[in-house]
Structure 1
């Protein structure tokens, strides 16, 4: 069983002013990673959305909700954010698209990474990769029975079509312990992540999934009854310093 890494996770999607994504990424990777982790957070990953040049997506993890509050208060009240917030905020149109998540089971958390994060200015130690995040929106809670269905029936089909889930999470409904940063409340989501080598690898997986008899006969009928809307797919390119890649 893989280790549970970060019991509380924020999936953050920022809408930026045109042409400002690389400005924010440069600032973020240079100034914001280590200071956040120094006060108790884990910067899981930072990404360019391949399908929207003005969207920056990142994942941030915490040990629990009380420590989330303490860490966020320390960072946003501290000198690093105070020094750089105006430049960061100037790149953004909206930063409130935030899902608060928790691993769906003991096997659903992100695996502990192997190796250290790239040092700024050094060449990448790992080959390029992409991450596909799939967000399912439900009529009601994704309960224990659904998680068992995912692990027993959905995950094997995803794996055999080339999209083995790296992690799978669901809505965390604990009160927002840091109201200064809004999160999307009153939504039921189930989010799974998979790693791919490139865009053609993602396309191959999705094509094989679409034509899988097991997917169409055994999985999709149950899923489609739970969905309130078309699933959202985020094709994400890790930044140079993203530890999730």
Structure 2
């Protein structure tokens, strides 16, 4: 853990990397265990994972589920994913803390392996400075992840539909669209950590300065005739189940939003 002396900034730089492969990880936790995991994660698992060549893009509380922890991890490609995960999960940091981390969890296998839906649709490389361990948890931003469940081999068409029809309405209603991702269909290069396979899922991430701003955004969309009558109807035609929406609040050391 870094030692902070008087006059030092209370933030530190995170590595700037381009993420072509992204994991959306959702953990089902034991009751009242989330704050224990967040404290451990933010203290022990950020710089140590990034030192092995991966990116911790963001980590969050699920606003609608007190026993859920959600985070995003990025890699430059599938081979480097295998190498980075192997290095971390066979290394001393995970060995020292795995029992405590695993003790907070009921299930950690709800993981989507994703890639950008188009060349410019990934999370932008972050130049933000991450707060130091022990920083006060006073973040007010909100990240919303919307998952659309598609039929096989329809992801490219849906990506075009999102870019041409969905995204303009979101932006007009004051959303900041952070990324648009789709299932990476390559075999899992690190089977020790399972991912959800045999699915085609499109996920977009939007950022808002507050929960109130998000509610204003939803109201603006609801008042748009073209959104409700055309875009939503077309989205429902292209998906086989109701969209899944996660309202996520960042931990103190998250780089998003």
8 Å CA contact retained: 1:8, 1:102: yes
Which of 104, 111, 115 is the equivalent residue of 1:98? 111
CA distance in structure 2 between the partners assigned to 1:154 and 1:171 by the alignment: 19
Which runs of 5 or more residues in structure 1 are unaligned?
none
Moved over 3 A (4+): none
Q: Which residue of 1 aligns with 2:142?
A: 130
8 Å CA contact retained: 2:54, 2:74: yes
Q: Which residue of 1 aligns with 2:126?
A: 113
Which of 43, 60, 66 is the equivalent residue of 2:73? 60
CA distance in structure 1 between the partners assigned to 2:126 and 2:17 by the alignment: 11
TM-superposed deviation, 1:20: 0.3
Q: Which residue of 2 aligns with 1:171?
A: 183
Query: Which whole-Å deviations, capped at 9, do the CAs of 1:86-118 have from their partners, x for residues lacking one?
Result: 000000000000000000001211012233211
8 Å CA contact retained: 1:4, 1:110: no
Q: Which residue of 1 aligns with 2:221?
A: 209
TM-superposed deviation, 1:131: 0.4
Which runs of 5 or more residues in structure 2 are unaligned?
1-15
TM-superposed deviation, 1:135: 0.5
1:10 corresponds to 2:3: no
Bigger mean CA offset, 209-218 vs 70-79: 209-218
TM-superposed deviation, 1:231: 0.6
CA distance in structure 1 between the partners assigned to 2:236 and 2:155 by the alignment: 16
CA distance in structure 2 between the partners assigned to 1:162 and 1:45 by the alignment: 21
Query: Which whole-Å deviations, capped at 9, do the CAs of 1:126-147 have from their partners, x for residues lacking one?
Result: 9621101111111233433322
Which of 32, 38, 41 is the equivalent residue of 1:28? 41
Q: CA RMSD in A?
A: 1.7
1:180 corresponds to 2:192: yes
